[in-house]
Amino acid sequence: MPGTPPTRYVYLGPEGTFAEQALRTVPAAEHGSRTPARSVGEALESVRAGEADAALVPMENSIGGAVGVTLDELAEGGPLVITREVILSVEFVLGARPGTDLAGVRSVAAHPQASTQCRNWLRAHLPDATVIDVLSNGAAAAGAANGEFDAAICAPIGAARHRLTLLAYKIADHPDAVTRFALLSRPGPPPPPTGDDLTSLAVYIAHDRVGALLSVLMELAVRGVNLTRIESRPTGEALGRYVFFLDCTGHVADARLGEALQGLRRVCAEVRFLGSYPRHRWTDAVGDRPVPAPAGLSDADYTDAAAWLARLRSGELS
């Protein structure tokens, strides 16, 4: 039923990871079921198959960049749409079994991305400890809890889940690091416009035409649509063939973005709509407000111009 919030959620597992922590910031998810999946593909396929209503998966990290497997699934898998984005501060902690102190830590379990983001802290505080790669932050916490490792680099939710004592807080080398997650559902009417929205697209350009990518960008620029992100991924067809992922300010219901989408449809080999959804808001600071449209390119300007053209076509010249 359109407008009915999801009740069955799945997320990239295991339990005790940043993905679970991000999902729990979604109010409706607190009242529904939350099931971990073994991979991004498994999470999204459960939504496609109707076994879950929505899946939360990582899209990009401010340090590590885009999550390629998620982008590939969105470009090549059965259609899904983003209904919400969640941006979570990545706060790593060092957890250990009660009774363990920092001096006694000889082995540290960590996901490779976690140990990379905490490299300087490890070098300064545990230079002689052996860092052991594990599959997830949740697995690191579980391994420390069962005595397989002396300590774990993990998310706060993982340390709490496995009753670990925190030996150190906020150990990441980049304290402002964030991860962006997307909540995906089966295709349906997008959430209504809020006035501060994003629209995501996967665009396949005409590779045999000079200036094909420029023509894509111009369709947005001439209508005052702000491009907040562009990312390319190989299509797998041949070397040099790419799909471009675009995040644009605006909503599919907006007149100017609607015209831009029509323009992209005309000049691109294929356009896959990935959803229109509210932009994550950190604060009410000036820098977090939506960028206003240039003069003559607001939705009101487009509505006025469309009404004027309709009058001309009906024979009215005033």
Rounded to the nearest 5°, which phi and psi values hold at 114?
-65, -45
Neighbour-count burial of 245, counting CB atoms closer than 10 A to its CB (0-12 exposed, 13-18 middle, 19+ buried): buried
Question: Which of 30, 32, 28, 33 is closest to 83 using CA atoms?
Answer: 28
Report the pLDDT value the prediction gives residue 285, as an integer from 0 to 100: 46
Cα(115)–Cα(277) distance, rounded to whole angstroms? 33
Among 87, 81, 88, smallest CA distance to 251 is for 81
Strand partners, 178: 89
- CA–CA distances in Å: residue 318 to residues 105, 125, 304, 307, 314: 81, 76, 13, 12, 11
**pLDDT value at residue 7:** 85
What's the CA gap between 25 and 14, in Å, rounded? Answer: 17
Tokens of 281: 């808001």
pLDDT of residue 288: 56
Average pLDDT for runs of 10 along the chain of length 318: 73 86 89 90 94 94 85 92 92 92 92 89 93 90 93 91 92 88 93 92 80 87 90 78 90 91 90 93 56 71 83 81
**pLDDT at position 210:** 72
Residue 18 has a pLDDT of 87
Count other C-beta atoms under 10 Å from residue 303's C-beta: 12
The pLDDT of residue 207: 67
Separation CA 229–CA 231 (nearest Å): 7
Residue 14: is the preceding peptide bond cis (ω within 30°)?
yes
* pLDDT for 282: 62
pLDDT at residue 122 in the model: 94
Sole residue written with tokens 């003069």: 295
